[in-house]
Structure 1
Amino acid sequence: MSNLGTFNKIIKSVWSIENLDEIEDGFGPDEIEAWDSLSHIELVVALEEEFEISIAVQDVSRLYTIGDIKNTLRKYGVEI
């Protein structure tokens, strides 16, 4: 599976999103109802485990949108 496919699988699982086609890079907690503080941490843990990276706390606190998440993964060497 590609990194994007893995990323999408994690997003779908953590936030119980049925149709990923409706999700845009600019979407954040205001657009994704299930995105709360607990699911934010669950997402980070899932990404760290799957991609074998460790995301710094300051980067975790800057994940405001789907695009931010993708950019942060790229920062850690994960091509999305």
Structure 2
Amino acid sequence: MSKLMPLADVFASALAIDAAQISDNLHYQGIPQWDSVAHMQLIAALEDSYDVMLDTDDIIDLSSFSKAREILAKYGVQPQ
């Protein structure tokens, strides 16, 4: 079994932000870099990192770090 990349690292890389900024309170409205293009980069990074294919409703609903955990759990993924 391969070790999953920590979710905070996926967010930091996709959104080009410092990992220190990432907490369960991170929401797209609080990060100016989290625009529509960055959102799709984040979706692609999540799908690649955790080998899932998010459905459209989940892509639209993904609006925070904690929501990403919730969505990934639906796909059987429990990232760090």
Length-normalised TM-score, structure 1: 0.83
SS at match of 1:61: helix
Unaligned runs of 5+ in 1: none
Q: For residues 70 and 3 of structure 2, what CA distance do their matches in structure 1 show? A: 16
Task: State the Cα RMSD in Å.
Answer: 1.7
Amino acid aligned to 1:63:
L
Q: For residues 3 and 74 of structure 1, what CA distance do their matches in structure 2 show? A: 14
Give the share of equivalent positions with the same residue, in percent: 26
Q: For residues 74 and 12 of structure 2, what CA distance do their matches in structure 1 show? A: 22
Length-normalised TM-score, structure 2: 0.83
Unaligned runs of 5+ in 2: none
- In structure 2, relative to structure 1, the CA distance for the partners of 1:4 and 1:50 (3 Å cut) is closer
Are the aligned partners of 2:14 and 2:42 in contact in 1 as well (CA < 8 Å)? yes
Q: Deviations over 1:10-42 (max 9, x none)?
A: 111111222x23322122122112101111111
Alignment of 1:1-80 (within 5 A): 2-3=3-4, 5=6, 7-18=7-18, 20-80=19-79
Equivalent pairs, count: 78
Q: Deviations over 1:31-73 (max 9, x none)?
A: 1121011111111111111111110001110011111011101
